[in-house]
Every structure is written in C-alpha cells, then in structure tokens.
Chain A
Amino acid sequence: MNNKMTRDEVLDAFGAAAAWPTEALVREWAKKYPEYERDLVDFATAWAATVALPIEALDLQREDELVNRTMSRVQMLVREQHQPTQAPPSGETAVAANRLQIDSLEQALRARGVTSPWIEVLGIDEFILELLEDHMIAPPMPRRLLDALSQSLGVHIEAVRAWLFQESMPQVVSYSAKKPTFERWTFQQAVEKSSLPDALKQQWLRETADP
C-alpha cells in the first residue's frame, strides 16, 4: 500500500475515529486531507443525521423476512467460495455460454454478488467500467484485469475477452451516407483519463499487456 490514502481509505478511517462526528473531528480530518474535505463533510453530515435519528425497531416478522433472505444469499456466497475449482471450459463453449448470459457487464457482476466500489474488486473506476461496458476499449488489456473479471464473473478468460472486444454497437442513428466510425480507446488512454489515484494509474500503466 502506498503512503497516499485514497478517498475510500480516508473516509473509512475517518468513520472509525469516533462514535459520531464532531466539529473538532471534521476540522482535524479536513486539515489533514484537504483534497477530500467535501467528501468528509458530506459523509459526516449523513453520519450525524443517522446518529440523530431514532432507531425504529422493525416488525419482527419483517425483520425475520429480511434476515432470512440475507442469510440465504450469504450461504450461497459461502458455498460458491468453497466449491472446488472446476476445469475451465473450452474457449468455444465458454464464449457460446457467455454470449447467452452477459448482456451487461455491470449487471452480470452484480448478479454474481460483486458490487462497487469497483476500485476495490477490479482496480478500476466507473469511467473505465463504462468504456468496457460499451466495448470501447481495444485490446490489449492487462492480464490482471481480465483475470479479475473472469474470476468475478465465474467464466473463462476467453469468454471475457470475446465479450469485451466484440464490435461496439452504439445506439445512434446516422443520417450520413458514410458509415460512422467509432474510435476505440486504448487501455492506457482510459487509465489516464480515469479518476483512479495516481499510484493505481501508474501500476496499470506498468503492467504487461495481455498477450
């Protein structure tokens, strides 16, 4: 881990610094991390409001319903984690299965219980995810990202490649006689334009591209 804390690290550490936010706490942290002052104040306001609100007990039946549903999902996640790793399907089978299953990368990730912040699970931000979603990043791409997507989605890496690098089909109508062309981004360009912290950007840019 580097010495410069990310926004999420700062906010998590801030939240762990006291039982509730006070003027002194907010001033101290805003002074220490002026670049995140707005985020700190926004979070502290929501935090203070939550602390102020009385906690209404849930109707027991409703609480049971919510807890049981959560626990069923948790059991499924834990079972998935402990299942022995299956031999990866052949590229062709995986691609065929993938075409049927993935309409949206984000929805597919969520369906597998992988939730944002994406920086924590995939090392990318919303901007890069959107470009991936629209098939707007051209190969090559770092192997680490392909592996992370493959693992999170539970599909073969070839299926991930096939999905990401399929032709982009922008939903626009062109009245031009010429076929419109859409320039794809390189992964490096996407990283440079992203809101990732500098250290993470540098790490991606250093990594060997997917062969």
Chain B
Amino acid sequence: MNADLEQPDSEAAAAPSARRPEVQAAIDVLTRLERPQLIDRLRAAARQKKLSPEVLLHFAREASSSGDREIFFLAFEGLTRCATPMIANQMRNLYGISEADLDDHLSVVFENLVRRIQRDDPTLEYGVRFFHSFILRRSIDAMKAKDHPWARRFKKALGALRKECGKQTKRYDGDGECAPTAVDARILSQAEDPAERAAGQEELAQVEQRLAGLPEDACEAYMQARALGRTQAEIAEHFGVSDRTVRNWLDRVTKALDERTAP
C-alpha cells in the first residue's frame, strides 16, 4: 500500500480531496493538451487500455459538466473497457453469476455510474482516488438489488490468495500515462502470457476442487483470518459461531490448501 496516502476527511463526511499523485500528474498532462489531441489520446486509450480508470473517470466527469459529449463518450467507453473484465471476473468467480445475468448486471452498474456522473455526485471523488474498490462497491450493491441467484464462492479466491500475486505490472511512464497500482495494472493489462494464465487457472481449479466439501463460511472465515488478520474470536462473533467451530474451519481449510492434487 502506498504509505503516502491520506485517509479521507471522514469526520466531516466530506469527499476526500487527495488524489494519488500519479493520477493527478496524468490528469494535469492531459488537461494541457488541445482538444483534438485529447480526443486522439482518449480514443487510443479506449481501445488499448492505456489510461488508468481514475484518469478516465475524471475526464468523463469534466466532460459531463461542460456538456462535451464527444469527450464524455470516449472517456466513458475507456472506463467501461477497463472495468468490464474486472466486474466480470468478480461476479463469475466470487458470486457464480451466469453469462446472461452478467449482461444485465453490467448495465445496472454502469447506469448507476452514469447517473452519478450526470448529477456530479461527490462520491465520484472516491472513484478518482481508487476506481477498483469504488466500482466493486457499485457491483455488490447492484448484485444485492437484483434477483439473480448468487452465492458467495470464496474457494477460488483462497487458491489465488495462497499463491503470491507477483505478476509483473506494466509501467505507464510519462506523457500522461501513469504508473498504476498493482491492482489497476492487472485490470488494465491484457498482455500476460496466455500459457501462464492457463496454468494459473488450472491450479486455481484444483484448489477449488480440494476445498469443494467445505462450507462457504469456512472459506470466508479463512479469508478474513488470512487477508484481514481477524482473530478467531472476531470471526466467531462475525459468523455467530463458537471459537471452536472457527478453529475447526481454519484447520480444515489450511489442510485442504496444503494438500497436493494427485497427478
């Protein structure tokens, strides 16, 4: 995590004003461009995913306020291209959404975003700070508001958590393109080695298979312990179960994760 980040001004319930320096620098560079050049950059970004979603969200907001539809649509298309794979992954892997429901879900999420932009909702400033978590919140809200059959599925995420996510992140240097966070880079990057990606998927599928018999709560509890450092007592309280049950869950998940799949 970037240690320079300030916490939002939560006491006054105001939107945080501090943007990440690399995002602000990219915005500044692009703001200095003439309109035709900016359009060219946004058009290229929409196809090649070369701008971070935070930067694109900023320009979508600005264009909406000034009534510049061309720039708004280009920035929003870039944003849609960045966010769609992320939302699709989240909804397929964590909540098991069907492909048909995914179409519907994406439309609800992006309509929500458009409406926030149209009314210049102050919470958008959170999205300009970290778009990933901002759109994740919108996606979870949309999912809970709809009648899609969904259920938590943390098994694949546990497999991924077990491996270190040490993927190479693409650098975005100079000329208005920023160095994104590791998460943004993974959202933006389409250039990973397909063989490596396939092998990773296979390994995750094997882990998921080994965890198949365990309750979802056990997997979520493990995620809370491992990723968030929650204590057994806190987890027990969260799920309304005994400490002993939590211990049992964590032991079973640990054991399943450490097993090797027979060749």
Using a CB–CB cutoff of 8 Å, the interface residues on chain A facing chain B are 1-5, 9-13, 15-23, 25-28, 32, 38, 41, 43-58, 63, 66-67, 69-71, 73-75, 77-78, 81, 110, 113-117, 120-121
Interface residues of B in 1-38 (CB under 8 A from A): 1-2, 5, 7-8, 10-14, 16
CA distance A124 to B136 in the complex (A): 23
CB of B233 within 8 Å of the partner chain: no
**Known contacts A53-B90, A54-B160, A55-B85: does B126 contact A16 (CB below 8 Å)?**
yes
B94 within 8 A of A: yes
Q: B160 contacts which chain A residues (CB < 8 A)?
A: 52-54
- In the assembled complex, the Cα of A13 lies from the Cα of B189 at a distance in Å of 26
Cα distance, A47 to B132, chains bound together (Å)? 9
> A77 touching B7 by the CB < 8 A rule?
no
- Contact present for A4 and B85 (CB under 8 Å): no
Q: Are A52 and B165 in contact (CB under 8 A)?
A: yes
Beta-carbon contact of A47 and B136 below 8 Å: yes
Across the A-B interface, give the 4 residue pairs with the lowest CB-CB distance, nearest first: A23-B229, A15-B133, A49-B157, A16-B126
Q: Which of B2, B14, B111, B126 has a CB less than 8 Å from the CB of A19?
A: B2
Residues of B within 8 A of A18 (CB): 1-2, 5, 130
Determine if A48 and B223 form an interchain contact, defined as CB atoms under 8 angstroms apart: yes
CB-based contact B134/A63 at 8 Å: no
Which residue of A12, A28, A38 contacts B137 across the interface (Cβ within 8 Å)? A12
A19 and B157 within 8 A (CB): no
Report Cα–Cα, A165/B229, bound state, in Å.
52
Contacts of A55 in B (CB 8 A): 85-86, 89, 186-187, 189
B5: which of A3, A17, A38, A50 is its contact (CB, 8 Å)? A17
Check B130 against A52 for contact (C-beta < 8 Å).
no
Contacts of B93 in A (CB 8 A): 53
Q: Which residues of B lie under 8 Å from residue A28 when comparing CB positions?
A: 7
CB–CB A115/B142 < 8 A: yes
Please, how many angstroms separate the alpha-carbon atoms of A74 and B227 in the complex? Answer: 37
CA distance A67 to B161 in the complex (A): 30
Given contacts A12-B123, A16-B16, contact A50 B90 (CB under 8 A): yes
Minimum CB–CB distance for B42 against chain A, Å: 14
Is A77 touching B94 in the complex (CB atoms < 8 A)? no
Say how far B125's CB is from chain A's closest CB, in angstroms: 8
- Chain A proximity of B161: nearest CB distance (Å): 4
Binary contact track B106-147/A, C-beta < 8 Å → 1, others 0: 111011101100100101011101101110110011100100
Are B115 and A114 interface neighbours, CB within 8 A? Answer: yes
Check B118–A115 contact: CB distance below 8 A: no
